[in-house]
Amino acid sequence: MGFETLPDHDDRPEVVALFANLKAALPKLEELFAEYSGHSWEYEDRIYRFYHGSFKVYWLQNGTTKITEALQALAPDRQFNEDYRQIISEGTRKTWTTDHNERWLKETRPILEAFFHARYMLEMAVSYGKELERPPSVLPSGWAALLYLFGLR
C-alpha cells in the first residue's frame, strides 16, 4: 500500500479524541511550553545547575511532573508508553542528599533525561496542535511520537 492509497486522515475514535483534547488544551500547553523553554528559571537555569553541580537541578523534577500531568490529561483513559513511564519514574521522586555529589552523573542524569523527554513530547503536542487541522494518516515524526506516547502507533 503506497501513500496515495492511504486515507487523508486518521479517523480512529481514540486518535480523534486525543486530537480534540489537544486542540482544546492548546493555550494551556503553549503557556507550559513557554515556561519550560528559552531563557527561563525553569529551563535554562535548571540545566545550568546540572553543570554547576547544584542541587537546584533536582527542581527540574517539578517541571517533568507538571508536563507529564498535562500530557496525561490529553488522554486520561490511556496509559503512557512503557519506556516513557520508566524514564519518568527513574527521573522523578528523587531527593538530593550530600552523598549524591559523589555520584553526580548517576544521580542527576535521569532527572535531565526525564525532563528532556517530557519537554520533547510537550513541544510536539504544541507544534502539531497548532499545525494540524485533523489527525493525518501520513505521519510527521513528532505526531507519530505523540501517538507512541499514548500507545496509538
Of 119 and 138, the one with more pLDDT = 119
Asked if residues 8 and 139 have their Cβ atoms less than 8 Å apart, the reply is no
Average pLDDT, the chain: 94
Please measure the distance between the N-terminal and C-terminal CA atoms of the chain and give it in whole angstroms. Answer: 17
Tens digits of per-residue pLDDT, 122-142?
999 999 999 999 998 888 999
**CB-based contacts of 153, cutoff 8 Å, min separation 6:** 139, 144, 147
Long-range contacts from 145-149, C-beta under 8 angstroms, 24+ separation: 145/120, 145/121, 146/18, 146/121, 147/15, 148/81, 149/71, 149/80, 149/81, 149/84, 149/121
Instruction: Kindly state the percentage of the chain with pLDDT values over 90.
Output: 88
pLDDT at 2 over 70: no
Beta bridge partners, 136, equal 9
Tens digits of per-residue pLDDT, 18-28?
999 999 999 99
Whether the predicted model's global pTM rises above the 0.85 cut? yes
User: Where residue 40 falls among pLDDT bands split at 50, 70, 90?
Assistant: confident
Tens digits of per-residue pLDDT, 98-117?
999 999 999 999 999 999 99
3-state secondary structure 15-83: HHHHHHHHHHHHHHHHHHHHHCCCCCCCCHHHHHHHHHCCHHHHHHHHHHHHHHHHHHCCCCCCCCCHH
Tens digits of per-residue pLDDT, 59-89?
999 999 999 999 999 999 999 999 999 999 9
Domain boundaries, given as residue ranges, for the chain: 26-149
Q: Please classify residue 37 by burial: count the beta carbons closer than 10 Å to its beta carbon, then call 0-12 exposed, 13-18 middle and 19+ buried.
A: middle
Task: Say how far apart CA 145 and CA 152 lie, in whole Å.
Answer: 10
pLDDT at 3 over 70: no
